[in-house]
Amino acid sequence: MTMAAYGGLLAASSGTHLGHASAWAVFTTGAVLILAGAFGVILLRNPVHCALMLVVTLFGVAIEFVDESADFLAAVQIIVYAGAIVILFLFVIMFLGVDKREAARPEATRFQKPLAALLGVVTLIEILVLSRVQNWTTGYSGTSANPGGFAGALNGPGENVQKLGQSIYTRYLLPFEMTAALLVIAVVAAVVLSRRQEPVASEMSRAEQEEVVAS
Amino acid sequence: MSVPGAWYLILAAVLFGIGATGLLVRRNVLVMFMCVELMLNAVNLTFVTFARLQNDIGGQVSVFFVLVVAAAEVVVGLAIIVAMFRRRAAATADDIHSLKG
């Protein structure tokens, strides 16, 4: 096996060269993973198991991203979501201790679960009914007078990450810069929120420090 | 050829419905957060599907920004949960009223 053989394998497996049956196989695999993980998240009792089932769903979504030629987003999905966000969830679960009292405590309202299931089904039916409306399943591509928001072609020559980067750093530069500010604000907010109420040594005057040491 | 886009949209709608149901059913705040992530992922799947259908990279750019906002949201949300847990040593949605000033 040489690099050329790997290259041929990659070329054969990339993009729209998939056969009909294998495209459906990929889609079905991702869909099964997504639905199994999602039901696991809402049905399992232990929050740790919920977090692990969330990883299954995120992996299924990443598979669908690859299937829809969003290669870079599939990688980011795995790295950021499964890697960082779920780890953050698990960290907080471990930090706080697993809360198993959810099942033991009485419900605030007797009809919470049936009502919630009903509302979920209504939401789903609503989305599916709305999908019959024009432009809901095809998307709005604009008219000839008003061409809509076309941010650059997805297909065509060039890598996916190159086109994505060109779009973000030109047309979406201001939103991109604002996300940087948003992340800084989020970090500062997290520090402020999770800070202990007692003042630390560097915030006390000398007299207060001596008082703490003496007590 | 690949799978028609409508199937991806149906899958995303079902995922969104499951997430919405879970958000209403569960009372552990952490699991409610995970259900919000499920709904965000459903929307991401819709964005990517429309990007493919419309041959427009803008859908994928939107997913990129959704990812960033989701990360920021999780950081702040988990900090609130930790603060809540410090005060009450419990993390169910019924205890959130204890956060009022």
Nearest to A163 among B2, B54, B57 (CB): B57
**Per-residue confidence (pLDDT) for residue A207, from 0 to 100:** 82
**Does A93 reach chain B within 8 Å, measured CB to CB?**
yes
Task: Using an 8 Å CB-CB cutoff, list chain A residues near B22.
Answer: 38, 41-42, 120
| 10-residue mean pLDDT series, chain A (215 residues) | 50 55 90 95 90 94 91 92 90 76 58 82 83 69 60 74 87 90 92 77 78 80
Asked whether the whole model's pTM tops 0.95, one would answer no
The answer to whether A74 and A62 are in contact (CB under 8 A) is yes
Task: Using an 8 Å CB-CB cutoff, list chain A residues near B79.
Answer: 189-191, 193-194
**Per-residue confidence (pLDDT) for residue A184, from 0 to 100:** 94
Which run of H or of E encompasses A166? Answer: helix A160-170
The answer to whether A68 and A33 are in contact (CB under 8 A) is no
Tell me the per-residue pLDDT of B23-67, one tens digit each, with 9 for 90 and over.
Answer: 888 888 888 999 999 999 999 999 999 888 888 888 899 999 999
Which has the closest alpha carbon to B91: B23, B25, B29, B22? B29
Check residue B56 and report its DSSP letter.
Answer: B
Which has the closest alpha carbon to A190: A179, A182, A199? A182
**Token pair in block for residue A103:** 């099942």
Distance of alpha carbon B50 from alpha carbon B58, whole angstroms = 9
Scored b (16 or more CB within 10 A) or e, A125-139 reads eebeeeeeeeeebeb
**Per-residue confidence (pLDDT) for residue A15, from 0 to 100:** 47
Scored b (16 or more CB within 10 A) or e, A35-49 reads bebbebbbeeeebee
Distance of alpha carbon A9 from alpha carbon A21, whole angstroms = 18
Q: What is the ipTM of this complex?
A: 0.89
